[in-house]
Chain A
Amino acid sequence: MNWHTFFFLLFSLLACGFAVMVVLSSNIVRMALYLVFSLGATAGLFFLAGADFVGAMQLMIYVGGTLVLLVFGVMLTAQGPFISMKTRGGDWILAALVSGSLLALLIPASFSIREWTNAPAEAESAELAESAEPGAQPDTATRLGMGLLGVRVDKLAGAPKELQPGMSGYLLPFEIVSVHLLVVLVGAAYLARTKRRATS
């Protein structure tokens, strides 16, 4: 067992443990805190896997953005000092059904990926050695950016030369998402604007 395995187990235990505590807690701000720890541990898993961009994104969007807004919303709307949510029996059953079926779907899916079950030991050690030497880290951000702009640099090497300019990555989904986000922004600005009185 090396440090890689140790930290993987540590982060995954933290993520799962705090996720369970989110469910069991009844105080909404404490839930948010546990969710922060759970998502933070997930970001740690991303960093461990070498996906540093996704890890930082996870911290920035989910932990730094969404949850801060959640707690902010709770503070703005709270009636009493500390809110606690009571879950009724029927809700428990419904939630257990939904989450249980999702879990039953996800576990076989994750075990069915061939590369994850029999990871070649020599590949792992080679990868560790490579990441240990300075300057040999993968340039994840550039690859992601090029992929979104329409060039899959990771697939260029094996492809025939005349096909290379046409490897158009994720340009279309990226554009669709961009336009969608713009629409959402305009809509939010429209909803949040100060209403003018009819007389003025």
Chain B
Amino acid sequence: MAEFFAQYVPQWLAYLLAALIHCALLIQVVAVGALVFIWLERKVAGRIQDRLGPTRVGGKFGWLQTLADGLKLITKEDLMPEGADGLLFRLAPYISFCASFCAYFALPFSDGWVAVDLNVGVFFILAVMGLEVFGVILAGYSSASKWSLFGGMREAAQVVSYEVPMGMCVVVPVLVAGKMDLVEIGRMQEGLFTNWFIFHDPFTFITFWVYFTCALASVNRAPFDLAEAESELVAGFHTEYSGLRWSFFFMAEYGSMFAVSGLAAILFFGGWNGPLPITEWLGLKHSVHPVLGYLGNFLGMLNFIFKCCLWVTFMMWVRWTLPRLRIDQVMKTCLKYCTPIAAVMFLGAVVWTYSFPGGVTSMRKPYGERYIVASEPAPAAESPAPEAAEPEEAESEEKTASARPKQLTTAGLVSGDSRMQVATRQALEPKTLARGGH
């Protein structure tokens, strides 16, 4: 996008504009998402409890209810307890919100539609979402209220423990894909829904449910919402908050619900790829025409958002169905069930991918092979371009001993990623030979 703007305005302004547009779009996803989901939560809760939920504001379904609530919250007085630590108290909601918002930077909404195409996207999202707990802990600590303090402590204990099984579950699809790049992981699952990683093998299938349990716990939703247990702790860590600061916590909560659902959609459910490759059949690809490709991407985004909304709705269903766990039950679920199951699933997935590298059924295209084959001819086509810049670059590279490779290899002039794959395969060859032709 920056290159597009650079045609019209100076370079620095182009980058600034591109960054602002990305940020605005993502903030809009979080804010509008929170509006919709809070309304949806009330409707779902109402239906489950055999009542109607909001019906009056904004016409038929009460769909402006959240906006009315937002206006009410803005006009509320911003209270702070007398004994509170002012700086931390004011800062805590923003820390939570920023952490939940930052996760969206690496979340691809469609093929290539991602703010920052990080090489370690999965890992980045996990790391940033882990920071959200810091806002909650600070809120609990700085409120100078024992309810808040208890809520914060419970949250800290819970989130720190659940990060372990959650990380293990996320590793399983990463292992199947061989990549941590979310865009690449999404691309590998294109085609029929049998290519989705949840149907890859029995282990990934079970892993998804463990992941979902851990995700519920890590975004602090019922039945794991001990930090704000109304029956015991008044309102937990946000007892002392009011007005807009209070609503920031909720924006963060709904934001991270959407983010973990998005991660689940990409890692297990094919991301932006529908159950049937309809966009492929219609020829909505960039290689046919840029506008058609854009349309295909847009359909993919709708697909992705639909999947995320589905899982968010599922979280609401769980919340209004199951009772809240006790703190020792929460810890038991994590340490005695989720972690061992995740570990066994990880081992199983390792064995499975080793024994059936191309999948078990012939229905499945061996995506790993397909991926290597697909990525190989591309550099050959673009290789003449870097040739012109070769002499200067080789010099500067020798000087700086840079690790970025664009040199001749035994396999010919190839660049970047596939060069490394070739090199890797060469290096691994003696080992596989020694193993006796697996």
Chain A residues near B160: list those with CB within 8 A: 65, 68-69, 72
Chain A residues near B426: list those with CB within 8 A: 156, 164
Contact: A75 with B119, CB < 8 Å? no
Contact: B423 with A156, CB < 8 Å? yes
Chain A binding surface, main DSSP class = helix
Interface size class of A (residues with CB under 8 A): 35 or more
CB of A151 within 8 A of chain B?
A: yes
Chain B residues near A76: list those with CB within 8 A: 153
Known contacts A2-B12, A156-B426; A52/B120 CB under 8 A: yes
Interface size class of B (residues with CB under 8 A): 35 or more
Q: CB-defined interface of B88-119 with A at 8 Å, one 1/0 digit per residue?
A: 10010000000000000000000010000111
Chain A residues near B2: list those with CB within 8 A: 132
Chain A residues near B133: list those with CB within 8 A: 64, 68
* Number of inter-chain CB pairs below 8 Å: 157
In the complex, A132 Cα to B6 Cα: how many Å?
Answer: 12
Chain B residues near A154: list those with CB within 8 A: 403, 405
Chain A residues near B399: list those with CB within 8 A: 115, 120, 123
In the complex, A126 Cα to B124 Cα: how many Å?
Answer: 26
CB of B131 within 8 A of chain A?
A: yes
The distance from the CB of B294 to the nearest CB of chain A, in whole angstroms, is 15
Among A3, A71, A122, A165, max chain B CB count under 10 A is at: A71
In the complex, A105 Cα to B410 Cα: how many Å?
Answer: 44
CB of A148 within 8 A of chain B?
A: no
Among B3, B120, B149, B396, max chain A CB count under 10 A is at: B120
Closest 6 CB pairs of A and B: A64-B130, A60-B127, A59-B127, A123-B396, A72-B156, A154-B403
Residues of B within 8 A of A (CB): 2-3, 11-12, 15-16, 83, 85, 87-88, 91, 112, 117-120, 123-124, 126-128, 130-131, 133-134, 137-138, 140-142, 144, 149, 152-153, 156-157, 159-160, 163, 180, 389, 392-393, 396-397, 399-405, 407, 409-410, 416-417, 419-420, 423-424, 426-431
Known contacts A64-B127, A165-B431; 14 further A-B pairs (Cβ under 8 A): A52-B124, A63-B134, A68-B137, A68-B156, A71-B156, A72-B156, A127-B404, A138-B403, A139-B119, A139-B420, A141-B180, A151-B427, A153-B423, A161-B410
A-B contact pairs, 22 of them (CB 8 A): A29-B85, A29-B141, A33-B91, A52-B120, A52-B124, A53-B119, A59-B124, A59-B130, A60-B130, A64-B163, A68-B160, A69-B160, A75-B156, A122-B392, A139-B420, A141-B180, A146-B424, A156-B423, A156-B427, A157-B419, A165-B427, A167-B427
